[in-house]
Amino acid sequence: MIALARKYRPKRFSDLIVQEHIGAALRGAVAAGRVAHGYLFAGPRGVGKTTAARILAMALNCERRASAAVAGEPCGACDSCTRIWTGAVNLDVVELDAASNRGVDDARDLRERAMYAASAEGRHKVYIVDEAHMLTREAWNALLKILEEPPSRVVFVFATTEPQKIAQSAAPILSRLQRFDFRRIGPHAIVDRLKQVLAAEGLSADDDALRLIARSADGGMRDGLSILDQVVSFGEGPVTAARVREVLGLISDDVYGEVLRLVAERDTKAVFPLVARLVDEGADLGEFVIGAGDVLRAVLLANLGGKAEGLTEAMAGLVERYCSLLPAPDVVRLLAVLTELEPQLRTSGNARLVVELLLLRWAMMSRTVELEEVLRALGKEPGKGEPPGKGSPAVLRDAVSPLPPSPAVPPAVSPPIPPERGALTVERLRGLWSRIVEDARAKSPMLGALLERAEVVSVDGIGVSIRPLDTNPVHAEGLERQREALALLVGRYVTEPVRIKLQGAGSGERSARPGRLTEEGARAERLKALRAKDPGLSAAVDALDLELLE
């Protein structure tokens, strides 16, 4: 059996799926006799760039082009068309792979060969250069000379997946080329084409099987057909999703179902058994993480009113089930953690541990619930008096969460930007306090914890007075011991050296002067006020073990 990818490779411009715009333009150019001397075909792999170049060569050299049913289309059947299509030895069509022929010698050779006209009257010489971004600067310079004074009836087609590299190394040549951008082929288009091929071959397949193939083909029709080929030759009877998974080593949908469940239910205990199962089954953990990202993306899309393409029926059901349990802000944060850990997955020698950490962080991650929703769920409207936040809806978050209070925003873990130094004022210091706490935590979690429960009271010259927020004497002692360290931390943000003074806890007029409250204190106050006003909320906070955040 001829490989399906080869057997069903398009023979006419009108066969090019998804790239109809390019097919029509090229067909029109051939029909009008206005074919350019140089083309750049840019786009992802497997979307038909080389195929389109061959069809162009066929159309230019077709023996029956004068009597073509559609002007500009090759017949696909004459001797010339057949030879070009099958890649048989052909004087007029030269295919080069720049990945292997990239030296200046080849370029010179190309130049010399280009000087020879096509083999016969009325024929065109077509050079198809694949992976053109691999050509050297010298090769491009030689080609530029040809294209500045192109011999008649010579056409160059440069195909590339990375046009930006050509722009970098050979910008002048781009102005000599007519550029076509090939589109990625979506899963629907791939499934449709696979169905046509199956019908033509008298074969059948489950829709889910085709969706899985389309997903693995990742936008490439050639890959889609090659995978279908493998799956068809692997077994008997109709192609099933199970067979596709087996051939491609894909991770089954129920694994992703388990991921969604353990994240939604915060079932941290289920993390290690799940990863153990993947490892035992010999699953590719990188593939698993990509798949998990795809599933979360589908949940996010569903939450935002969209629909992910190419999901199997089982997967679509899972997405529907979990999209209300995992609201969009949560999914965004889950995906942010994924993006953060992904590089480690590639570089770490211990992919298993990275995957375990990823799932644990997902399962432990705090969730955002808008206060209004909680109140509505309790049959209450939000209080009309004091608004819970400054313009933004108040957010409830688990008190057990280990994360800093930044709802709907992924936790910042990247190293801090070098601090900008400025004047030492009490306002500035208070504004910077959360960053100073972060800096402290990076140095010592203990110091971070101490500073988090301390506030800036006043600034006097180079003296900064701080005060612990609780009356525990251990806290004050800890701060006392860390005065030098704190002076250094604060010193990073100001232009002059700083001396830290400590005030007694609870001293002064904390409750009388709310302006001096820390954010945490203010939140506690606000929550207290809200709870006093609304017994429903109070019950919810108690029942759900929540704390109020900005």
Residues that bind Zn ion (CB under 5 A): 62, 74-75, 78, 81
Residue 474, token pair as written in the block:
């251990």
Q: Which residue has the tokens 């017949």?
A: 75
Can you give 482-520 as a three-state secondary structure string?
CHHHHHHHHHCCECCCCEEEECCCCCCCCCCCHHHCCHH
Angle at 374 between CA 369 and CA 375, to 5 degrees: 145
Q: How far is the CB of 61 from Zn ion (least distance, A)?
A: 8
Whichever of 62 and 129 has its CB closer to Zn ion, that residue is 62
**Residue placing its CB nearer to Zn ion in the complex, 76 or 224:** 76
**For 453, which DSSP code?**
T
**Measured from the CB of residue 121, what is the shortest distance to Zn ion in angstroms?**
17
Burial class of residue 356, CB neighbours in 10 A (0-12, 13-18, 19+): middle
Shortest distance (Å) from residue 150 CB to Zn ion: 25
Of 85 and 256, the one with the shorter C-beta distance to Zn ion is 85
Strand order in the sheet with 463-468: 454-460, 463-468, 499-502
Q: Is 77 or 532 the residue whose CB approaches Zn ion more closely?
A: 77
Check residue 249 and report its DSSP letter: T
Please, are residues 436 and 404 in contact by the beta-carbon 8 Å criterion?
no
Least separation in angstroms between residue 218's CB and Zn ion is 33
Nearer to Zn ion, 67 or 414 (CB): 67
Q: Could you tell me if 501 and 480 are in contact, meaning their C-beta atoms sit under 8 angstroms apart?
A: no
CB-based contact 246:211 (threshold 8 Å): no
Closest approach of Zn ion to the CB of residue 14, in Å: 14
Instruction: Yes or no: say if 71 and 31 are a contact pair by the CB < 8 Å rule.
Output: yes
Cα separation, 225 vs 201, whole angstroms: 12
Closest distance to Zn ion from the beta carbon of 63 (Å): 5
Q: Between 29 and 134, whose beta carbon lies closer to Zn ion?
A: 29
Look at residue 287 and give its three-state secondary structure. helix
Residue 75 or 359 with smaller CB distance to Zn ion: 75
Beta carbon of residue 215, minimum distance to Zn ion (angstroms, whole number):
36
